[in-house]
Structure 1
Amino acid sequence: MNIPELTYSTELFYTVLMMVILLVINFVLKKTAQRIGEKGEIHITRIRLMFRYINILIVILALFLMAVVWGMNLRDLALIFSSVFAVIGVALFAIWSILSNITSGIIMFFNFPYKIGDKIKIHDKDMPIEALIEDIKAFHLHLRTDEGELITYPNNLILQKAVSLIQKDVFLDEGKNAL
């Protein structure tokens, strides 16, 4: 009795190998982001945001590698990716501030001296702001003034303005006073 030969055995082997390698890379990148977040005392919601960015990167990489493994012509693949990136580029040019804010959010994850709970002053000649950082999102910061006003401040602007630290970790100070 003849055992039927798998037609796509090589492709299946490389697919499984690629998935294992991508899972390891995903794990390593997430552990690295978590270590950086813990070392920099970055809030868990910002670390989870980085996890989403890592997942998107891994999915795009997996789609590209799957197409190569399963025999898609590199010329066709280049055409597809260039077309997709051209459409994305036009769309992002039309709404460039969103891309700018996301990029600023990533930069702020790795190198931003202020944390959630810090009271800061933004030195803007048109509208100076003194407020508490309540949350740091992908696109903006949530700032709470002493009057209780909630201000959403774009990430790209916070990197362009001079900022002073008024009080470090107000939440901890409030907890100490409550005891």
Structure 2
Amino acid sequence: MDTFIFHEYSRELVATGILGLLLIFLRIIAAKLVRSYAKSNQKLEHRTNLVIKYIHLFINILAIIAVILIWGVQTKDIIIALSSITTVVGVAMFAQWSILSNITSGVILFFSFPFKIGDTIKIHDKDFPIEAQIEDIGAFHVYLKTIDGEKIIYPNSLLLQKGISILNNYADQKEFTD
């Protein structure tokens, strides 16, 4: 009985094994590439780990789809299931679009924005201008501290929408004023 199952599904088993090895290889390569990018651009470790988790999630989703295809699920059935799932997730995310927007903005800030933790920035908002030092950049928010000690939690998506100036560090200013 066991040999019958192996002979009957040998192609699928071998393909699944190869896919598993490819999955491990891709996850390792992706992690190394992100870590080397982060190291060369002086990004923080916990933010690097967050981006790696996002990339691993994407790779895992692709691997699950590949396993489903390897084991013979019809493509039209996959498309129907994915469209149903996407519709439900889309409706749920439409209600929570700001969460998805902030996560995406956090990844963009990690890879391309010119400021980093410790920089003092000025956010050009005509109603609520903010001048503060960046204490941390998380998945959803940037944590700021004003010269008066006020702590501000500012959404990542708004940082991409507003004009930003990078100023001198408050620590540098405090050294000269006494």
Whether these two folds match at TM > 0.5 is yes
Give 1:1-179 correspondences, 5 Å limit. 4-5=3-4, 6=6, 7-167=8-168
Question: Over residues 57-94 of structure 1, what are the superposed CA-to-partner deviations in whole Å (9 max), with x where a residue is unaligned?
Answer: 12211110111111111111111111101111111111
Tell me what 1:177 maps to.
none
Question: Over residues 19-39 of structure 1, what are the superposed CA-to-partner deviations in whole Å (9 max), with x where a residue is unaligned?
Answer: 111111111111111111111
- Give the root-mean-square deviation of aligned CA atoms: 2.0
TM-score by length of 1: 0.89
Deviates more, 1:47-56 or 1:21-30: 21-30
Alpha carbons 2:147, 2:170 under 8 Å: kept = no
TM-score by length of 2: 0.89
Unaligned runs of 5+ residues in structure 2 are 174-178
Q: Which letter maps to 1:84?
A: I
Query: What SS does the corresponding residue of 1:147 show, helix, strand or coil?
Result: coil
**Which runs of 4 or more aligned residues in structure 1 lie more than 6 Å from their structure 2 counterparts after TM superposition?**
none
State the alpha-carbon separation in 2 of the partners of residues 118 and 169 from structure 1: 9
Distance 1:39-1:74 versus aligned 2 partners, 3 A rule: same
Unaligned runs of 5+ residues in structure 1 are 175-179
Query: What SS does the corresponding residue of 1:131 show, helix, strand or coil?
Result: strand
Question: Over residues 97-151 of structure 1, what are the superposed CA-to-partner deviations in whole Å (9 max), with x where a residue is unaligned?
Answer: 1111111111111101000111111111111111111110111100011222111
Q: Which letter maps to 2:154?
A: Y
Q: Which letter maps to 1:22?
A: L
State the alpha-carbon separation in 2 of the partners of residues 146 and 26 from structure 1: 42
Q: Which letter maps to 2:160?
A: L
Q: Percent identity?
A: 45
Alpha carbons 1:115, 1:169 under 8 Å: kept = no
